Copies of this chain bind each other. A is one copy, B any other.
Amino acid sequence: MKKIAILGMGTVGQGLYEILMERKEKIEEVIQDTFEISAVLVSNLEKERNLAPTVKITNDFTEILEDEEIDIVVELTGALEQGYDYIKSSLEKGKDVVTANKSVISKYYDSLHEIAAKEGRSLLYEASVGGGIPIIKPLKEEILINDIESIQGILNGTCNYILSRLFQEKISYGEILKDAQRLGYAEADPTADVEGLDSMRKLRILSSIAYHTSIDEEEIETYGISTIIKEDVDYIEHMDSTLKLLGMSKLTEEGYVASVEPTIVDKSDYFATVDMAFNSISFVGHNIGPLKFYGYGAGKLPTGDAVARDVIDILLTHATVNLNHDKKEFKNLNESAKGQYYLRISNNTNTFRKISDKFQPIEFKEKNDIAYFVFKNANRDEIIEYVDKLGIYPRDFFLAKVGY
């Protein structure tokens, strides 16, 4: 008999509970053992919950931590520092841990892996990237027999939902954001999603695994979508393209680049087919070549499904993957990275001329105090720096990479 505790009974916790209960018999047949969800940690003890009477409901984590019969702790609180404490102390108490908490895994990637390795415990976090998509496990399997060369991904469902509707319906960013908040696709404070921080954390996790290294959050150039206006959508459509918030990292002999930025992709491109709340991750290995994975980036049952797979992996094999073998360090080459860029500025002709003189666009269009530029071989930071020097506010321009 294995005992499981779930910390946090929000959407994903509820989804996990339902999935494990629905398939209890089959899972027990496969793991050749029995299991139960013996405790859940909640903040509100009064709230009515649809749980079996055998499940202990507590708001005191130490009751779970001190219960030596609990083998697996599933951390689904979403909280950063508290989530870290829960995971750390559970591992140190000899419990295996599963989490969906990308903020914690991203910020404490090194220390949590070290603790898990030292304690000989499992630390699995499939649901921290790409919702229900099997990506962490296949990636960990491939790195054993592949040098990974690059990663690309649509990693944030909120942004993808907003961008998809922006290009389908031609209503404003602000209206769609409000609608997304109403429908539960966006948080009341959408900053982490729309400014690219959530994607950045997921890219940090994926890239650190893929390259056997540890890429800090600050090492990733991160830009969001919040300054986009209708005119950007029109211009990008006229390029026969659409816009995605793409996380990307690439490793060469010289070093690596890593960024999250709005990226213009051709309508026939694979990523153009990834719409609404879906996510997709692709990576390239020297033996396997390119692999692409697609599925729901969030949601009660898809994310619950990913968490359930981690729990079952631990029940099956007490899976421990030591990621510290052969750890490498690489140089960050973001500063010198160049690419094709689209820039839209709402300002005046004098400013537009200065920018043209400075960066020599391969495309230029001016209409109603709005200018559109496409630069062929430009560096993102240089453009932003110059635009800033001209006294243009961040809200008055939108910059996107063309292609990836």
Contacts and interface: CB of A to CB of B under 8 A. Distances in A.
Interface of A: 15, 19, 22-23, 26-27, 29-30, 132-134, 138, 141-142, 144-146, 267-270, 272-273, 280, 282, 285-296, 299, 301-302, 304-305, 308-309, 312, 316-317, 321-322, 325-326
Q: State the majority secondary structure of interface residues on A.
A: mixed
Given A27-B144, A138-B138, A268-B267, A305 B288 contact: yes
A317 to B, nearest CB: 5
Contact of A132 (B26, B289, B296, B309): B289
Contacts of A269: 273
Contacts of A134: 134, 138, 141, 291
Given A19-B287, A145-B308, A282-B294, 13 more contacts: A19-B145, A27-B145, A30-B144, A132-B287, A145-B305, A145-B312, A146-B305, A268-B268, A287-B304, A288-B301, A289-B296, A291-B295, A317-B317
Given A144-B26, A144-B27, A308-B145, A132 B302 contact: no
B291 A292 contact: no
A144 to B, nearest CB: 6
Nearest to A23: B145
B289 A301 contact: yes
A282 B280 CA distance: 13
Contact of A305 (B22, B26, B285, B293): B285
24 contacts: A15-B287, A19-B145, A26-B325, A29-B325, A30-B322, A132-B287, A132-B291, A134-B134, A134-B141, A134-B291, A142-B305, A144-B312, A145-B305, A145-B308, A267-B268, A270-B273, A273-B273, A288-B296, A288-B301, A289-B301, A290-B295, A292-B294, A293-B293, A293-B294
A149 to B, nearest CB: 13
B301 A132 contact: no
The residue in A142, A145, A321, A325 that gathers the most chain B C-beta atoms within 10 A of its C-beta is A145
A291 B288 contact: no
Nearest to A282: B294
Given A145-B23, A268-B267, A288 B273 contact: no
A282 to B, nearest CB: 8
A133 B305 CA distance: 21
Contacts of A280: 292
A145 B304 CA distance: 10
A269 B270 CA distance: 9
B325 A302 contact: no
Given A27-B144, A144-B23, A305 B322 contact: no
Given A19-B145, A23-B145, A322-B30, A288 B302 contact: yes
Residue in A134, A142, A285 whose Cβ sees the most chain B Cβ within 10 Å: A134
Contacts of A26: 144, 325-326
B309 A141 contact: yes
